[in-house]
C-alpha cells in the first residue's frame, strides 16, 4: 500500500530543512570571517641599523676598558641577531687616522674572540671632517626589528555582544608582548636552520646501547621525583 503525506505534514519538515539550509549559508563565522591575532594585530618585521662611535685621540694606541667592553657587547649582539657584515669604519685624513687603523684592527680581534668569522667583518675607511682631532671609529651592523600594531581600540560595547564576535582589541597585548620578547625578530618571518647533532653524545649513547647498558642520563638529587613532606 502506498502512503502519501499531506501538505500539513510536509510543512514542518520543509521549515526545518529551510532553517538548516539557512544556517549553512549564514554570513557569520565563515571562511572570510576567520580571525587570528596575527591577522588582526600584525607584527611588522623590518631591518634597522645599529651604530656606535668610538672617539680616540692621536695619542691613544688602544681602546679604553669601557670602550673595549662595549665592543665585546656589540659583537655578542651581532653574533646573536646580526644580518650581513659587521662593519668597522676608520677615519681617513684626520690627525688620529693612523691610530684609528690600529684600533680598528683591535676591534677586529675582539670580534674574532667573540666567535665572529673574519669573512663577516668588513673594515673600511671614510673621509673624516677636515682637522677633526678625534674622528670616530664607527662600528655598525644591521638587525631585524619587530614593530607591533598599536592597542587601545575600545570602540566595541562589551556589554552587548549578541553574535559573540571578537572585539577589536582582543589579542593585541599578546602580539605586543611577543614582539618585545622575541630574541630575534627574524624568527617571525622564517624558521632557523637546524643545527648539527652532537655526534660525540650520540656515539656514547650508541656504545651503551650495544653493550646493553642504560642509556639514560643519571639522576641528580633534585630529580629524585619524591613528593614534598610539608603536609606530612
* Domain assignment of residue 26, yes or no: no
At 44 the three-state DSSP class reads strand
Give the per-residue pLDDT at 158: 81
Give the pLDDT means over successive 10-residue stretches in the chain (232 positions): 49 52 49 72 94 93 94 95 95 93 96 95 92 92 94 87 84 94 90 81 88 81 63 59
Range of the domain at 58: 47-144
Alpha-carbon distance of 167 to 185, in angstroms, equals: 27
Would 189 be classed as within a structural domain?
no
Looking at the domain assignment, is residue 208 inside a domain? no
Cβ atoms 86, 42 nearer than 8 A: no
Q: Which residue has the cell 672617539?
A: 55
Q: What Cα–Cα distance (Å) separates residue 22 from each residue in 7, 17, 207?
A: 22, 8, 66
37: in domain: no
Q: pTM score > 0.75 for this model?
A: no
Q: Report the distance separating Cα 171 and Cα 156, nearest Å.
A: 14
User: Is residue 200, in this structure, part of any structural domain at all?
Assistant: no
Please, is 226 exposed, middle or buried when counting C-beta atoms within 10 Å of its C-beta (0-12, 13-18, 19+)?
Answer: exposed
Instruction: Report pLDDT for 4.
Output: 47
User: What is the structure's pLDDT at 130?
Assistant: 77
Contact 183, 80 (CB under 8 A): yes
| CATH number of the domain enclosing 57 | 3.30.1330.60
Q: Is residue 161 part of a domain?
A: no
C-alpha count within 13 angstroms, C-beta hemisphere, residue 58: 9
pLDDT of residue 151: 93
Sheet containing 121-127: order of strands? 43-55, 136-148, 82-92, 121-127
* Residue 148 to residue 137: CA distance in whole angstroms: 33
pLDDT of residue 114: 95
Q: Is residue 212 part of a domain?
A: no
Residues in a beta bridge with 140: 51, 87
| In contact, 198 and 165? CB cutoff 8 Å | no
> What is the tally of structural domains in the chain?
1
Asked whether residue 157 is domain-assigned, the answer is: no
Amino acid at each position: 500500500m502506498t502512503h502519501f503525506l499531506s501538505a500539513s505534514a510536509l510543512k514542518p519538515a520543509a521549515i526545518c530543512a529551510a532553517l538548516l539550509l539557512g544556517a549553512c549559508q549564514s554570513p557569520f563565522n565563515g571562511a572570510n570571517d576567520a580571525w587570528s591575532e596575527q591577522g588582526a594585530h600584525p607584527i611588522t618585521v623590518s631591518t634597522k641599523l645599529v651604530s656606535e662611535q668610538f672617539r680616540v685621540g692621536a695619542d691613544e694606541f688602544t681602546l679604553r676598558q669601557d670602550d673595549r667592553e662595549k665592543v665585546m657587547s656589540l659583537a655578542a649582539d651581532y653574533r646573536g641577531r646580526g644580518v650581513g657584515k659587521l662593519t668597522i669604519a676608520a677615519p681617513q685624513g684626520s690627525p688620529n687616522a693612523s691610530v684609528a687603523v690600529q684600533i680598528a684592527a683591535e676591534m677586529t680581534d675582539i670580534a674574532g674572540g667573540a666567535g665572529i668569522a673574519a669573512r663577516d667583518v668588513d673594515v673600511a675607511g671614510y673621509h673624516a671632517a677636515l682637522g677633526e682631532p678625534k674622528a670616530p671609529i664607527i662600528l655598525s651592523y644591521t638587525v631585524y626589528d619587530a614593530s607591533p600594531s598599536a592597542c587601545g581600540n575600545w570602540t566595541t560595547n562589551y556589554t552587548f555582544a549578541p553574535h559573540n564576535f571578537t572585539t577589536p582589541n582582543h589579542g593585541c597585548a599578546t602580539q605586543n608582548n611577543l614582539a618585545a620578547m622575541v630574541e630575534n625578530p627574524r624568527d617571525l618571518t622564517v624558521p632557523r636552520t637546524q643545527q648539527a647533532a652532537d655526534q660525540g653524545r650520540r656515539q656514547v649513547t650508541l656504545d651503551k646501547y650495544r653493550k646493553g647498558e642504560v642509556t639514560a642520563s643519571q639522576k641528580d638529587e633534585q630529580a629524585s621525583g619524591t613528593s614534598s613532606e610539608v603536609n606530612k
